[in-house]
Structure 1
Amino acid sequence: MSVPPSLRYEREAWRSGAGLLAAVDEVGRGSLAGPVSVGVVLLEPGCKPGPVGLRDSKLLTPEARTALVPRIRRWVLEGAVGHASAAEIDAVGILRALRLAAERAVASLSRTPDWVLLDGNHDYLTRRPQPLLLEFDDGLDALAAAPELEGGWRCEVPVRTLVKADLKCSSVAAASVLAKTERDALMAELAASYPAYGWDSNRGYSAPAHLAALEEHGPCEQHRRSWRLPGQRGPADELAADELPGWDTEASTGEVADEREQELA
């Protein structure tokens, strides 16, 4: 059995002077279709431990996640989920889309944080030149040419990144559950309009049935067309990039890789 998350890192932040803390986690980054979604929860110093059974969303069954949602919302001060669509991911890249989704989530809250705990090893929230961000893109020219989208809030507070924070931190685990349940519901709705791809079960990830459907039917408007997709015309057909207006044919393998999420859903 996995070790439950705790408030260890949140309490460290509060001891260092943080006040209203936002915990942030994403879901859908490695999906081939649908939005990327970012969950945010707000906690204040002195809060009680998280709900019994709280874990990283990937370790929970769909039923357990659904049951936790109302308990999480009673525990946190506020919680929200923001989304960036497949078209927006194509327009600005996955990292900027993550930031956009997070900004939308925070903008929907009635209060704003003064400290952020972010899952992962890269601060995609802060708007400043970051070498790691450039490393994930194909080059400076492509990054500079991407349009800037506004999410209604700008992160101008300290951000602590923590690898596997969704496993270690109760607040981040809570954000992951909110994001996962809301995105899964969105993918189930999209599955009704695009039944060939099986999104009600694979959530847009690269499950064999989804890949086979892409080979047979090609991508639809909900797919991330800037990534290499089965059934999509591209370099394999000896087409030049300028024959595919708006399509980035050199997607990062890190973006397309599975996150084990689909297997555990």
Structure 2
Amino acid sequence: MTAPTLRYERELLRTGATLLGCVDEVGRGALSGPVTLGVVVLSAATKSAPQGVRDSKLLSAPMRERLAPKIRRWALDHAVGHASAEEIDEYGLMAAMRIAGRRALSQLTHLPDLLLLDGNHDYLSPPVQEALFGDPDIDLVPPVVTRIKADMRCSGVAAASVLAKTTRDAIMLELDTEHPEFCWADNKGYSAPAHMDALVRLGPTRHHRRSWSLPGLESLGSTP
């Protein structure tokens, strides 16, 4: 598979953008834990990404851990934001991803004037009804460009995925110490057999996405 490059990012920067934010998410399909968005900010002067940067799904955990500090040193700016399982249940997944994105953008010292988002759906830009509420974080979201398979083709987006993945994995490892029966240290909240079996036996925790019709919702009626 061809390694990602900054070719497309540099094309965007030549169109008038001064700072480009490259964004990717992890945890969208998990049953528990947050949904997490990473963003790295690049300029026209940014050099090629650290060697080995790929979409986080293509890298081993040790490789991701080695790359994360290199990415932080390489990027002009970077941040990671989260939305909790409770927020996913209350607002829906797309809105929760938007919340996580705003939280990431709010941490940046260098706010980009254009965002490159993996996929074909802009879930970061606020719908009209949200803009009408006068949310101060609305102004944090610059124009968005989407690109299918940007995490595979664009090294800025791949780098954002590595930061998001390593940060979310660390959260799931910490939560595993509270609820080891769900084996989150291994499955990171996804639907692995051990996780599903524990859900059936024990019911969901407060870290589970209860709006997702999980197995075990009726068992015990508890929130361990």
Question: Shorter-chain TM-score: which interval?
Answer: over 0.9
- Match of 2:164? 179
Tell me the TM-score normalized by structure 1: 0.78
Q: Which amino acid aligns with 2:5?
A: S
SS of aligned partner of 2:37: strand
Q: Which amino acid aligns with 1:170?
A: S
- Match of 1:194? 179
Residues in 2 aligned to 1:35 and 1:156: alpha-carbon distance in whole angstroms = 21
Tell me the TM-score normalized by structure 2: 0.92
State the shift of 1:155 in Å. 4.6
Q: Residues 102 and 141 of structure 2 are in contact (CA less than 8 Å); yes or no, is this contact kept in structure 1?
A: no
- Match of 1:97? 96
Describe how 1:153-168 pairs up with structure 2 within 5 A: 154-168=139-153
Q: Which amino acid aligns with 1:94?
A: L
What are the Cα deviations for residues 19-52 of structure 1, in whole angstroms up to 9, with x where unaligned?
1000000000000000000001100112111011
- Match of 1:260? none
State the shift of 1:8 in Å. 1.3
Describe how 1:217-232 pairs up with structure 2 within 5 A: 217-232=202-217
Q: Which amino acid aligns with 1:191?
A: D
Q: Residues 101 and 151 of structure 1 are in contact (CA less than 8 Å); yes or no, is this contact kept in structure 2?
A: no
Residues in 1 aligned to 2:166 and 2:200: alpha-carbon distance in whole angstroms = 28
SS of aligned partner of 1:49: coil
Residues in 1 aligned to 2:78 and 2:182: alpha-carbon distance in whole angstroms = 31
Describe how 1:21-170 pairs up with structure 2 within 5 A: 21-129=20-128, 152=137, 154-170=139-155
More displaced 10-residue stretch of structure 1: 80-89 or 156-165: 156-165
- Match of 2:14? 15
- Match of 1:211? 196
State the shift of 1:157 in Å. 2.5
What are the Cα deviations for residues 89-112 of structure 1, in whole angstroms up to 9, with x where unaligned?
001000000010010011011121
State the shift of 1:120 in Å. 1.1
Q: Residues 22 and 160 of structure 2 are in contact (CA less than 8 Å); yes or no, is this contact kept in structure 1?
A: yes
**In percent, how many aligned pairs have the same letter?**
55
Q: Which amino acid aligns with 1:195?
A: P
Aligned pair count reads 217
Aligned CA-pair RMSD = 1.9
Residues in 2 aligned to 1:176 and 1:156: alpha-carbon distance in whole angstroms = 19
Q: Which amino acid aligns with 1:123?
A: D
Residues in 2 aligned to 1:155 and 1:67: alpha-carbon distance in whole angstroms = 30
5+ residue gaps in structure 2?
Answer: none
Q: Residues 126 and 155 of structure 1 are in contact (CA less than 8 Å); yes or no, is this contact kept in structure 2?
A: no
Q: Residues 46 and 76 of structure 2 are in contact (CA less than 8 Å); yes or no, is this contact kept in structure 1?
A: no
Residues in 2 aligned to 1:204 and 1:154: alpha-carbon distance in whole angstroms = 32
